[in-house]
A = this chain, B = another copy of it.
């Protein structure tokens, strides 16, 4: 999809750029010393809200609670920790997630049902509540302070701390803010995310939180989030594994007083989808051990489903991923990955281009200069274009290469 825009613009302020949103990050000592590990995100007033959750049958405890709390399409705050996933812990885990919501509720004077809870980190270990609960208290104190200060540098810094607090093996924080001129005024959007790399000692998680001061009805918000997730987070893969904690949440507090309609709605939904795609790409780029960023663009597919299956299959293939690590113009692996994707297409019409260099035509290899290929594949960003000439649909997926470092990171946690 086209993430270029005519109407929105990038602004400062991260997740709490939209009016009446506040976010802080604090160091509670869950992860390890001197690291941000609790983030609190809060709207002054109740917001409409929606979420998308992992399809893994094994669901972390906070995720189950958050799904329940979103059933009324409303929320006012999100409490997030890194360092412990609170997954596979039975009743202790349910109780820990609930306590996090309750503690946040008591401290903020919000109903526990309007608090969402999200965790990422180690699976199968008890949440250290003796550190989590004081951490929540601290976060609320900081956010109260922030509300008094109002907009300004401290608010921006705290938004950044929140983005840091949700990181695990991510190398860089991922945050962004945008604004869009609509009839009746400007609406803003804030977004922060963390990557899907794996963390000590079990697995990592893809988390994304989105705020907006637009006024959006809950059902419409849910639909938009589904679309945006399908074309962004569902199109990235680092290693094909789906976490127990994956979650994307959006809150719309209406503080701009603007309810985007007609063309404004189209532009607004494009902005939300664009923001999600930017986060998705940032996550793929920051994949564990990644040395290269892969973008697979499929054009000319019969259906959107076919285009997406092929794009995802190519960026998920261990063979394709290791070929690009070796800077090898291995079009046969790309065509084969398309072939077993489950998509319907005619391989005898497929053309393949690697960073603009055509390497296959009508499903057959072309003579190409190895020198030229080697120069193009030395780039850190690789665009794999698969032109099917079978229809009119396009899709893009993102991923990264498979490196020695990936094996290092994931083989040697506990020894």
- Which residues of A are at the interface with B, using a C-beta cutoff of 8 A? 54-58, 87-90, 123-125, 198, 201-203, 239-244, 317-319, 322-323, 325-333, 335-340, 343-345, 347-348, 360, 362-365, 370, 374, 402-404, 406-408, 410-415
Partner of A362, one of B90, B333, B343: B90
Rounded to whole Å, the gap between the CB of A126 and the closest CB of chain B is: 10
Q: For A125, give the chain B residue with the smallest CB separation.
A: B365
Partner of A411, one of B325, B335, B374: B325
Residues of B within 8 A of A318 (CB): 239-241, 318, 406, 410
Partner of A363, one of B54, B90, B243, B408: B90
Rounded to whole Å, the gap between the CB of A374 and the closest CB of chain B is: 7
Partner of A407, one of B58, B322, B330, B340: B322
Rounded to whole Å, the gap between the CB of A356 and the closest CB of chain B is: 19
Q: For A324, give the chain B residue with the smallest CB separation.
A: B411
Bound-complex Cα distance A81 to B124 (A): 50
Instruction: Report the 3 A-B pairs with minimum CB-CB distance, sorted nearest first.
Output: A326-B411, A202-B332, A58-B339
Bound-complex Cα distance A198 to B319 (A): 8
* 25 chain-A/chain-B pairs, Cβ below 8 angstroms: A54-B340, A55-B340, A56-B336, A58-B347, A90-B362, A90-B363, A202-B336, A203-B336, A240-B240, A240-B318, A242-B336, A244-B339, A318-B406, A322-B407, A323-B413, A325-B407, A326-B413, A326-B414, A328-B411, A328-B413, A328-B415, A329-B414, A330-B414, A374-B415, A402-B407
